Structure 1
Amino acid sequence: MTTMTAREKAIQEQFSLRMDEGELLNCMRCGFCLPSCPTYIETGFDESHSPRGRIALMKAVHDGLIAPDEEVEHSLNVCLGCRACEPVCPAGVKYGHLLEEARDIFADYNEYKPQTKAMRKTVFDGLFPHQNRMEHAVTLLGIYQRSGLQKTARKLGFMKLFPDSLQAMERALPEVPKRSEMKKRGSAFTTLAEKQASVAFFSGCLMDTMFLETNKATITLLQKAGCDIVIPDGQNCCGALHGHSGEKDGAKELARRNIDAFEQTGADYIISNAGGCGAFLIDYDHLLKDDPAYAERARAFTAKIKDITQILFELRFHERFPLAIDSQVITYQDSCHLRNVMHTHIAPRVLMQAIDGADYREMEKADSCCGSAGIYNIVETEMSMQILDHKMESAKATNAHTIVTANPGCLLQMKLGIEREGLSESVRAVHIVDLLLEASLNDSVE
């Protein structure tokens, strides 16, 4: 091995101290993960872009056998973090935990360019931890959409200055609500049927701004299913973006605030309607395992986490209410984290298949990543679009009129795919909550 730089030596020492050696050794190099890894497949079966290969790289850095150089960091960054490798691993390796720790170590020693450093500080410290600022940012987007600026920018060809993927992404953005609408949403709601449970709703940051209508639909469905609902004012961003981007300390602080907020509700369950958020929330017990003040509280918190589709399934929503839509073919794109981390994939399918008028057709490789992966489609655009193009081939093969998802990032990515394929006049992408509300005929319980 060549002599390591001072930075590489510091990173290697942190790998030795912080990486879970037992978890690294758990990988048997069997290769069961390989067919499930999108980047392994998309790179033409490059071992360094497989879970097995990345774990081997982490172990080699941990043992001081190789330098933690740019190639190692690039391999980790190209990973989608979809965690599709985990359900198929016979040894139960927690690959996602290893990946997050490794990225965090690299981030601690990265010398970012001034503009990158400023951007990260703005996003991770100045925006996502503060819901009022998120509301303000989305309000500005709404002004852009409603004031005529959007039409003018398109007419003048301003958007052509950006890459094709960003042009399509701008067209795929939903119409966002006004700030006054965001402020109107209440914090407590009473069941519309015989009470089945009391729940606390994790409303999220993007979900409670850009996707406010989906949050409203979630509340209505929970009310109809027999839930009293409280939305804690003290909650904040789940921390997933921080945790996946090498900002682990920020993720821990957000986790502590959420635990503080939700503990006070005394709810039976904590409900999420975003697969990415739910998966990070349910990992708080791992995130805070070394925090003496929060470790036990985090375990109690994660034990209550459920996705909206899971609780609707358990409360027999699909059996108690008539569900119907205009005749159409629908298909489903799994949220990676909802399926691979929260292990929720049967419930959404049962709910969709119960809708009269919906011809449900399973998409080939519906459980493979769509390429969104948080901000992956922005920072690793080429790979993301390559994955999306293959995903759209599978979607088109179903002849679906409606592509259903269960996560905001997946929803935007599928809308982007529809735009890229020129299908916006014949195909739509919707969140499963919005589809279920559309299919709900009345408020009476059988």
Structure 2
Amino acid sequence: MSISIQEDFQNRIEEEELLNCMRCGFCLPACPTYIETKDEVHSPRGRIALMMATRNGEIDELEEVEESLNVCLGCRACEPACPAGVNYGHMLEEARAIFQEHKQPSAKEKLLRKVTLDTLFTDQKKMTAATSLLGFYQRSGLQKTARKLNVLRFFPEHMQQMERVIPEPPKKSLRSQDATFKTTLPESKATVAMFKGCLMDTLFHDTNQATIQLLNKAGCDVTVPDAQACCGALHGHSGEKDAAKDLAKRNIEAFEKTEAEYIITNAGGCGAFLHDYHHLLKHDPAWKERAKKFTEKIVDFSTVLVETGFSDEVELILEDQVITYQDSCHLRNVMGTIHPPRQLIQDISGIVFTEMKDADQCCGSAGIYNLTQPEMSMQILDHKMEKAKETNAATIVTTNPGCLIQVKLGIEREGLTDKVRAVHLADLLLEAITE
């Protein structure tokens, strides 16, 4: 066994935290990978046991430990289920970071991480360029040609299906909002600084614009700081902890200048990682308190809409349909936002809201999990769609871009594209407003 890995586990993962796990098993029915496998290796308490064994030098098969950690979705559904309050998500990210720092990645993995984590997600201009290329592929006829020639047959089935559901990004010329944006209302109920996100500001740019319009209608002044960066979630979840810290510092500095009452997100995955900046930087004396003040302001946009009485300011009507809601894991499990999205949906006249069974369980997206662990991801998604179909919903609402694409993929896999749609909550609410 590599002593250096053991020493890192001893230095960076507190034994007291590991021992907080009482092995009671309350986490088991909340864990998607345990539900699918019925294997303790793929349960939260099983992974904690593996971390403890690694820390104590009691295990030689480190590949098994790393594989178990990688199969974990990181949905953190085990945390609200845990009576001892074990901070599983924090230990998971630290353990992944340790393994990442000690491994010798292949040339393919090095290239992939360089292109995505080091280049694409740290530079919004490059992200914009990448989504512009996607838009060109979709609009120029290349997509139709690729499908006609069946070029996509060389890709796995789930990626062929994903190609059909990825939304078309708006043309660059139509992105009317500059990087810096601010509204000032005559009478403001709250001042809000918006975290625009990487995918949300490119692939889902229209949803960001819808969010701003909703907040304005609720009586909020909105500012979108220019200097903000990627939240760092993908870096943190992938073991690139130092890069995540650098991005966190850039964001804290950018949002401090706004002096806003709230810092809002409309992407549950981003919001949860922003919410955890205080933990990410807890050992940095220069940033610890700044991170704490930053995280105290982080809320989902739905929370602000409810608190400012949005539904009293506008009339919300849609044609008769059944609507259900799929929780964003991180929005629910980390940020604790459960009721506001549901309340806003139920405020819409003309619709029937039907709660989905196990809506709090992961859809299998989990950042890029559907690319790195496709078999488990599709297995979880197929079971999720069984629950969705039981609601007879024509519209499935969610609050995270990864979840939205994953649910669209599920609809495609079920052959329901003519009967069921998936939409972001912000887009649904804007659609429901009657002028």
TMscore range, shorter length: over 0.9
User: Residue 371 of structure 1 corresponds to which residue in structure 2?
Assistant: 364
Residues 179 and 226, structure 2, Cα contact 8 Å, conserved in 1: no
The amino acid of 2:102's aligned partner reads Y
User: Residue 283 of structure 1 corresponds to which residue in structure 2?
Assistant: 276
Aligned runs of 1:43-122 on 2, under 5 Å? 43=37, 45-67=38-60, 69-122=62-115
The amino acid of 2:30's aligned partner reads S
2:6 aligned with 1:12, yes or no? yes
User: Residue 407 of structure 1 corresponds to which residue in structure 2?
Assistant: 400
- Which residue among 319, 322, 337 is the counterpart of 1:326? 319
2:16 aligned with 1:22, yes or no? yes
The amino acid of 2:362's aligned partner reads C
User: Residue 197 of structure 1 corresponds to which residue in structure 2?
Assistant: 190
Instruction: State the distance in 2 between where 1:413 and 1:265 align.
Output: 34
Instruction: State the distance in 2 between where 1:336 and 1:157 align.
Output: 35
Residues 32 and 380, structure 2, Cα contact 8 Å, conserved in 1: yes
> Structure 1 68/254 Cα, relative in aligned 2: closer, same or farther at 3 Å?
farther
| SS of residue matched to 1:91 | coil
Residues 331 and 361, structure 1, Cα contact 8 Å, conserved in 2: yes
- 1:188 Cα deviation after fit: 2.9
Instruction: State the distance in 2 between where 1:433 and 1:285 align.
Output: 28
> Structure 1 216/414 Cα, relative in aligned 2: closer, same or farther at 3 Å?
same
Deviations 1:223-271 (A, max 9, x none): 1011111111000100000000010000000000000100001111101
2:19 aligned with 1:37, yes or no? no
Tell me the TM-score normalized by structure 2: 0.98
Cα RMSD between the aligned structures?
Answer: 1.1
User: Residue 206 of structure 2 corresponds to which residue in structure 1?
Assistant: 213
User: Residue 158 of structure 2 corresponds to which residue in structure 1?
Assistant: 165
Task: List runs of 5+ in structure 2 lacking aligned partners.
Answer: none
Instruction: State the distance in 1 between where 2:61 and 2:308 align.
Output: 50
User: Residue 432 of structure 2 corresponds to which residue in structure 1?
Assistant: 439
Deviations 1:24-47 (A, max 9, x none): 11111111111000000100x111
Residues 325 and 356, structure 2, Cα contact 8 Å, conserved in 1: yes
Residues 191 and 222, structure 1, Cα contact 8 Å, conserved in 2: no
Instruction: State the distance in 1 between where 2:123 and 2:14 align.
Output: 32
The amino acid of 1:171's aligned partner reads R
- Which residue among 414, 418, 424 is the counterpart of 1:425? 418
Residues 179 and 225, structure 2, Cα contact 8 Å, conserved in 1: no
Shift >6 Å, 4+ stretches: none
User: Residue 148 of structure 2 corresponds to which residue in structure 1?
Assistant: 155
Q: Report the identity percentage.
A: 64
Residues 172 and 415, structure 1, Cα contact 8 Å, conserved in 2: yes
Instruction: State the distance in 2 between where 1:174 and 1:346 align.
Output: 28
Aligned runs of 1:336-375 on 2, under 5 Å? 336-375=329-368
Deviations 1:89-128 (A, max 9, x none): 1111010000000000000011111121111111111110
User: Residue 264 of structure 2 corresponds to which residue in structure 1?
Assistant: 271
The amino acid of 2:137's aligned partner reads Y
- 1:193 Cα deviation after fit: 7.0
- 1:187 Cα deviation after fit: 2.5
Give the number of aligned pairs.
435
Aligned runs of 1:227-246 on 2, under 5 Å? 227-246=220-239
Task: List runs of 5+ in structure 1 lacking aligned partners.
Answer: none
Residues 217 and 314, structure 2, Cα contact 8 Å, conserved in 1: no
The amino acid of 2:8's aligned partner reads Q
Instruction: State the distance in 2 between where 1:193 and 1:358 align.
Output: 34
